Amino acid sequence: MAAVSVCIVGAGVCGLSTALLLAESKSIPYKVTIIADQFSPKTTSNAAAAVVAPFILGPETPIQLQRRWIKQTMDWLGSLYKTTDATTIGVILQHLYFCYDKMQQDSYWKDWLLSYRKLTPKEKEMAFADDSIIDGWCCSTFTLDTDKYMHWLTNKLKNLNCRFIQKKLRDLSEVSSYDIVVNCSGIGANRLVPDPSVVPVRGQAIRVKAPWVQHCCIYINEKAISYILPRATTVLLGGTAQAGNWSKSIDPNDSKRIFEDCCKIIPSLKNAETVEEIVDLRPSRPSVRLEIETRRTGHKDMKIVHNYGHGGSGISLHWGCALDSFKLVEKLAEDIRVSCKL
């Protein structure tokens, strides 16, 4: 059988992960092309906080799917973490504090991570200078140095002879010549599908040099979300969660608020050197869309697998969603193979 041509629209973590599964498929041969207007390091995935835990995820996404997708992603990252290449790939196992200014019930996803327990009074007293922190949890989970991970995925795909084309599509019909299209366009789905239920949740952050900071902290209160996330060479300080804001320009007021709030938690961050400021748009939707669509384009039925709408949980769900996308592509490819025999 001739190779099935598949176009992946979007070069974020979900698109590249799906492409990798297809490129390494042993059952059906695929000719994989990735088309996007931006590639790493300029994707939304590169700017992500990249903590494996549900975050700014559409409330209509079924709990059982969230659980399965996160478990599959944790299993995948765990397998990479246990290799000698873990540092090159960018997989990090970290302790993470979720902090709040009010008492909290246990999270519905507490059993999905490697460990989970209440923040002790001693931890609250010794680890954080901000007296407004009242309650919290300590978790163990995987985080990603997204620049490293995206670079690793890209190199694997190039070594597997996948094509990369930089192009801004105006409509999905532009790729109707491919046997199958996998739509991982993220925020672009608002325009490309078009799907008006996809809206931006703007995130801004600062990368600083602060090698003395060793633990992760996410502080959620009524006014803002603050996070301090160590990476291999920098610490990511954030953030914002501005629904409906399409601006990708750095807002100095946001930067000032982010830095001041993070310094309230760990005052020594005042001595940190700023490396860069970043901003991007989380592709929010009431629920993740992961399904097949058949769309009439000209004289052809276009076969599309949609995989978008992950909000701030793209990293957390990426491998599980890629596995489901792969299965849907396999189903469509099998239909193509059967029709070719008739």
In terms of C-beta density within 10 A (0-12 exposed, 13-18 middle, 19 or more buried), how is residue 261 classed? buried
pLDDT in the model for residue 338: 76
The whole-angstrom distance between residue 330's C-alpha and the CA centroid of its chain comes to: 23
316 in a labelled binding site: no
- Helix, strand or coil for residue 96? strand
Query: In 3-state terms, the chain is what percent helix, strand and coil (to 5)?
Result: 35, 30, 35
Give the span between the Cα atoms of 93 and 124, in whole angstroms.
Answer: 22
Question: How far apart are alpha carbons 121 and 40 in whole angstroms?
Answer: 42
Look at residue 84 in the predicted model and tell me its pLDDT.
98
Structure confidence at residue 146 (pLDDT): 96
Give me the tens of pLDDT residue by residue for the chain, a chain 342 residues long. 689 999 999 999 999 999 999 999 999 999 999 999 999 999 999 999 999 999 999 999 999 999 999 999 999 999 999 999 999 999 999 999 999 999 999 999 999 999 999 999 999 999 999 999 999 999 999 999 999 999 999 999 999 999 999 999 999 999 999 999 999 999 999 999 999 999 999 999 999 999 999 999 999 998 899 999 999 899 999 999 999 999 999 999 999 999 999 999 999 999 999 999 999 999 999 999 999 999 999 888 999 999 999 999 999 999 999 999 999 999 999 998 877 765
Pairing assessment for the beta strands 199-209 and 235-238 based on DSSP bridges: antiparallel
Ramachandran region, residue 299 (left: φ > 0; alpha: ψ -120 to 50; beta: rest):
alpha
- CA dist 276 and 88 (Å) reads 22
**What integer pLDDT is reported at residue 92 of this predicted model?**
95
Six-digit token pair at 325?
């996308």
Q: What does each C-alpha distance from 217 to 39, 88, 209, 329 come to in angstroms?
A: 29, 24, 16, 38
282 is in an annotated binding site: yes
User: Which of these, 273, 311, 267, 271, lies nearest to 289 by C-alpha position?
Assistant: 311
Q: CA-CA-CA-CA torsion for 146, 151, 154, 159, nearest 10 degrees?
A: -140
Q: Could you give the CA distance from residue 155 to residue 149 in angstroms, rounded to a whole number?
A: 10
3-state secondary structure of 286: coil
**CATH topology (fold) of 4-341:** Rossmann fold (3.40.50)
Q: Say whether 44 counts as a known binding-site residue.
A: yes
The SS3 call for residue 36 is strand
pLDDT (0 to 100) of residue 299: 85
Q: Is 284 annotated as a binding residue?
A: no
- For residue 339, the model assigns a pLDDT of 76
